Structure 1
Amino acid sequence: MTLDGDPQPEDWPVRAHESFVNALWSLVVDEDDYNDGKPAWMEAWGCQQGHVPEPAALNRILACGVDPDDLTDVVRVMQHLVIYNACQLIDDPGLLGIGLNKERSERAEFGWELVAFRAERPTERAPLNYLHSLCNEHDPSGRSGEPRGRPIPVQLPGQPLYARLAVSHALAGDRVQALKTWRKATGTPLGEAKAAIELLLDQLRQKPESTP
C-alpha cells in the first residue's frame, strides 16, 4: 500500500474498464436463473412492466408451445448485440458504419468518449477505450458472446417438452445436462429423474423406423 492509502494506484483505469463491461453484462438475462422451473427474467420483466407475470405477447408465444429456454437464448443474443454495438459506438462509430460519408469516406463531425473517474478522487479521470474488444471476454457464461448449444427435442408423442429435450441431451452424450433439464422442470430426486429418462430412451430405441 502506498503512503496515501491507495493499494493499487496505477491499475485503476484497467479495473474501471472491467467494472463497466461487467456492469453491461449484468443487464443481460441470466440463462441459469430460474423461478419454479421457468426462466427468472420472464417474471421479473412482467413485474417491471407492471403487468401480470408475463406480458400478453410473451403469453401468446408460450401458449404456442415454445420452449422458454429458446426464448432466453433469443433474448440473450439480442441483448449481447446491443451491449456489444454500444461499446463499438463509444469506441468508434465507424465500426458500425454510423456517421460515415460514403462518398468522401470522411468521419462524422462528432464522436463519443466514455471517461471513468474515481468516486473518492473525482478529479482523477481516464478515458475508457477499446470497450468492444473487452466485451466478449467478460461474458459470464465463458462463451465469449456465443449462444449456448442445445439439441433439438426428439419426437416423443405425448411427452412434455422438458422430457423430449432431456432425452436429446442424453442421446448427445450429455447425461448431466439431461438430468439437470428433467429435475429443473419436475423437481424430482436424482434417481427418479434418471430412471424416467432411461425409460424414455428405451422407448425410443424400440420405436420402429419409419419406412420411406
Structure 2
Amino acid sequence: MTQSVEDHQPEGWQVRAHESFVNALWSLIVDEDGYTDGRPSWIETWFRGHRQGSVPDHAMPAALHRILACGVDPDDLTDVVRAMQHDLIYNVCQLIDDPGLLGIGLDEDYSDEMEFGWELVAVRTAAPAGRASINHLRSSLDDHDPSGRGGEPRGRPIPARLPGHPHYARLAVAHALAGDRTQALKTWRKATGAPLGEAKAAIGLLLDQPRQDPGSTP
C-alpha cells in the first residue's frame, strides 16, 4: 500500500492522534439525542432488567427512579449530566496539560527532586513507528464537541430531531414548532446570513419533513 506524504510527516499523525484522543473523550459523554422507549437512552440503560413501575434494587437506578417520580424532565436531567461530564473530561485535559491550573499542588513532603507531572504519549503501531507527546488538550476539547456548541448546554427548546441537519437548523425548527416563528427566523439568519424570505422558505421545507418523535426508538 502506498503511504501518503502526510504519513511520513510526524506532525500529521501526531495531530490525528491528538484529535482521536479528544474525540474518544467526547464519545464517553451521554448521547443527548438518543431515546429508547420514550426517555433518553442513557437513562433507559440503567433500568434494563427491572420490571417497569417497580423500584430497582441497585442504588443508581433507584435514585433515577425517585428523581423521575418527582416529575423531573428527563431532558433536563440529561443536560445536567452532560454538563458535569463535560467538566470532568475538561479537567482531565487540564490535569494532563498543567495540574497547577486546577490548583493541584505537590505533597508537602515531596522534595524538589520528586516533582512530577503527567504526560499523554501517542504510540504509533503502524510503520513508520513513532512516539509523540500529546499536549494542549484543553484548548482543543470544545472544538470537537459533536453537538457543535463548544461544550455549552443546549438550552430550550430542545433542537428538533432532524438527522443530518446542523444545530442551528434543528433549533430554528424547534422554535417554529413551539410557535415562535420570529425566534426561528432570527436563529436561522444569525447562523446563515440568509435574507428573510430565504430563511422562511428553508424553515418551511424542514417543517414539512417527517420528524422522529423524541419518545420513539431511534
Place the TM-score, normalised by the shorter chain, in its bin: 0.5 to 0.7
Shift of 1:64: 0.5
Shift of 1:6: 5.0
Asked whether the equivalents of residues 121 and 131 of structure 2 are also in contact (C-alpha less than 8 Å), the reply is yes
Give the aligned partner of residue 178 of structure 2: 170
Give the aligned partner of residue 204 of structure 1: none
Asked whether the equivalents of residues 118 and 125 of structure 1 are also in contact (C-alpha less than 8 Å), the reply is yes
Asked whether the equivalents of residues 36 and 216 of structure 2 are also in contact (C-alpha less than 8 Å), the reply is no
Shift of 1:185: 3.5
Give the aligned partner of residue 34 of structure 1: 35
Identity of aligned residues (%): 62
Give the greater-gyration-radius structure (CA): 1
Asked whether the equivalents of residues 35 and 215 of structure 2 are also in contact (C-alpha less than 8 Å), the reply is no
Structure 1 pair 167–18 and aligned structure 2 pair: CA distance change class (3 A)? closer
1:34 aligned partner, one-letter code: Y
Distance in 1, matches of 2:19 and 2:136, equals: 11
1:31 aligned partner, one-letter code: E
- Structure with larger RCO (C-alpha < 8 A, sep 6+): 2
Answer yes or no: is 1:185 the counterpart of 2:215: yes
Shift of 1:118: 1.1
Bigger shift: residues 37-46 or 25-34: 37-46
Shift of 1:43: 1.9
Asked whether the equivalents of residues 167 and 178 of structure 1 are also in contact (C-alpha less than 8 Å), the reply is no
Q: Point out where structure 2 has 5 or more consecutive residues left out of the alignment.
A: 159-173, 185-202
Give the aligned partner of residue 196 of structure 2: none
Distance in 1, matches of 2:176 and 2:68, equals: 21
TM normalised by structure 1 equals 0.65
Asked whether the equivalents of residues 88 and 95 of structure 1 are also in contact (C-alpha less than 8 Å), the reply is yes
Q: What number of residue pairs does the alignment pair up? A: 166
**Any residues of structure 2 matched to 1:1-212 within 5 Å, and which?**
5=3, 8-9=6-7, 10=9, 11-47=12-48, 55-99=61-105, 109-121=115-127, 123-151=129-157, 170-173=178-181, 183-185=213-215
2:121 aligned partner, one-letter code: V
Bigger shift: residues 168-177 or 29-38: 168-177
Shift of 1:51: 6.2
Q: Secondary structure at the match of 1:185?
A: coil
